[in-house]
Structure 1
Amino acid sequence: MNDTNVFLKAVDIHKSYSQGTGELEILRGISLEIKEGEALAILGSSGAGKSTLLQIMGTLDRPNKGELFCEGRDLLAMSDDELSRFRNAEMGFVFQFHHLLGEFTALENIMIPCRVAGEAPKAAREKALHLLEFMGLAERREHYPNQLSGGELQRVAIARALVRHPKILFADEPTGNLDSQTSGKIQELFFRLKEEMKLALVVVTHDLTFATKFPKVYRMKDGVWV
């Protein structure tokens, strides 16, 4: 694969799960190209297959059939350990629920990907502090997750996803658990981050209002584009 400016390319992705005596088809031949620095939304109702596609594109799951390339690399040919290192360096993830670790402070949660990658504590701390300041949370750095609001928790989760400066950020219903005012602020933050950090941004959502803010929207139903 040597398509100009294509960062990530999924080709004819199929995914199914065994269910009783049969198979439950989730994805039925999905193909998608994501260019460097591009922002797109994948819109669909619950059960459409959009979260499964995001997990496969983010190498968190493997398809039953299909191909997945990133900057010319065949991701499905990599071992699980190779993919883990690749994800940590190149990709960031934000989910509907923040998945912060309750025994660590906001600052420590953000540092985790750097520490997993073997970065020195001082360097990891500096990166995390910079992002906390960018997120407007510098004064909350020593607070634990149970001391933060929903919007603050999600901003910490976003900072954690970005601390290793990934080239692409995947977000799965990132505002689905927030009130409308907080949701709007987080949505604005995603676009600001995309521009300032030169990220590719892929957001999965069932929120039509959020999706239509993107320059490109894909609609999914029953595992296919519509």
Structure 2
Amino acid sequence: MNNANVFMKATNIHKSYSHATGELEVLRGVSLEIKEGEALAILGSSGAGKSTLLQIMGTLDRPTSGELTCEGRDLLAMNDDEISQFRNAEMGFVFQFHHLLSEFNAVENVMIPCRVAGESPKLAREKALHLLEFMGLAERAHHFPNQLSGGELQRVAIARSLVRQPKILFADEPTGNLDSQTSGKIQELFFRLKEEMKLALVIVTHDLTFATRFPKVYRMKDGSWFS
């Protein structure tokens, strides 16, 4: 493969957890390359190891062994502060559950990554409002999470993940908690975002229909790729 446009590379990733009866091996030497602006899906049943891989590639967890680089930088060599700053600047995350803060309204929730990065409240608010308008939520910007529907909550979470203009968006079962009609709309939104924002997009899902819409699909079982 031409490495010139490889954005992120995971090589021989292993992950094990210790428990009372020994070691539980969750990932068994998984390797994956993600090109700039590429969209791919990781498909597998519950317990296959796909979410663990996403968390490692997103620097939310560290592997037991292996290598992880992004734009040629060794992510595993960074300390906690360095990796947190890198993650907040370069990566966005969407999960099955929206994880919005109930005491903040929609625009305040979207502003959080900017405020963590030290941006001014004015600039953070402008960015957040722009994204909420893009998501079709301009009129819901000052509503609190308990005033929003499931689909609206997930769109706010997506806006929050994009507010710092990351180069890659990781999504873990992003439609798993939605009804079929809302799920379809959120799926369409991901593809629109990928094209308009030139993102690399990595989706973890057990939904075969969703996964097969991607140009590249990796199937995982028992911590390894399979055909």
| Structure 1 segment 207-218 matched on structure 2, within 5 A | 207-218=207-218
Q: CA deviation at 1:18?
A: 0.5
- Paired letter, 1:121: P
1:113 equivalent in alignment to 2:129? no
TM-score by length of structure 1 reads: 0.99
Q: CA deviation at 1:20?
A: 1.0
Residue 99 (structure 1) aligns with: 99
Residue 23 (structure 1) aligns with: 23
- Paired letter, 1:103: E
Residue 45 (structure 1) aligns with: 45
Q: CA deviation at 1:108?
A: 0.1
> In structure 2, how many angstroms separate the alpha carbons of the residues matched to 1:49 and 1:20?
20
Q: Deviations over 1:193-225 (max 9, x none)?
A: 000000000000000000000000000000000
Q: What is the DSSP-based 3-state SS (H/G/I as helix, E as strand, rest coil) of the residue aligned with 2:110?
A: helix
- Paired letter, 1:7: F
Residue 185 (structure 1) aligns with: 185
> In structure 1, how many angstroms separate the alpha carbons of the residues matched to 2:80 and 2:60?
9
> In structure 2, how many angstroms separate the alpha carbons of the residues matched to 1:71 and 1:45?
30
- Paired letter, 2:60: L
| Structure 1 segment 68-147 matched on structure 2, within 5 A | 68-147=68-147
TM-score by length of structure 2 reads: 0.98
> In structure 1, how many angstroms separate the alpha carbons of the residues matched to 2:7 and 2:115?
26
Q: Deviations over 1:60-104 (max 9, x none)?
A: 000000000000000000001100000000000000000000000
CA RMSD of aligned residues (A): 0.7
Q: Deviations over 1:157-209 (max 9, x none)?
A: 00000000000000000000000000000000000000000000000000000
- Paired letter, 1:81: D
What stretches of structure 1 move > 3 A for 4+ residues in a row?
none
> In structure 1, how many angstroms separate the alpha carbons of the residues matched to 2:47 and 2:21?
21
Q: What is the DSSP-based 3-state SS (H/G/I as helix, E as strand, rest coil) of the residue aligned with 2:102?
A: coil
Give ranges in structure 2 of 5+ residues lacking alignment: none
> In structure 2, how many angstroms separate the alpha carbons of the residues matched to 1:129 and 1:77?
36
Q: CA deviation at 1:21?
A: 3.1
Aligned-pair identity (%): 87
Give ranges in structure 1 of 5+ residues lacking alignment: none
- Paired letter, 2:75: L
Residue 156 (structure 1) aligns with: 156
Q: What is the DSSP-based 3-state SS (H/G/I as helix, E as strand, rest coil) of the residue aligned with 1:4?
A: helix
Q: CA deviation at 1:3?
A: 1.8
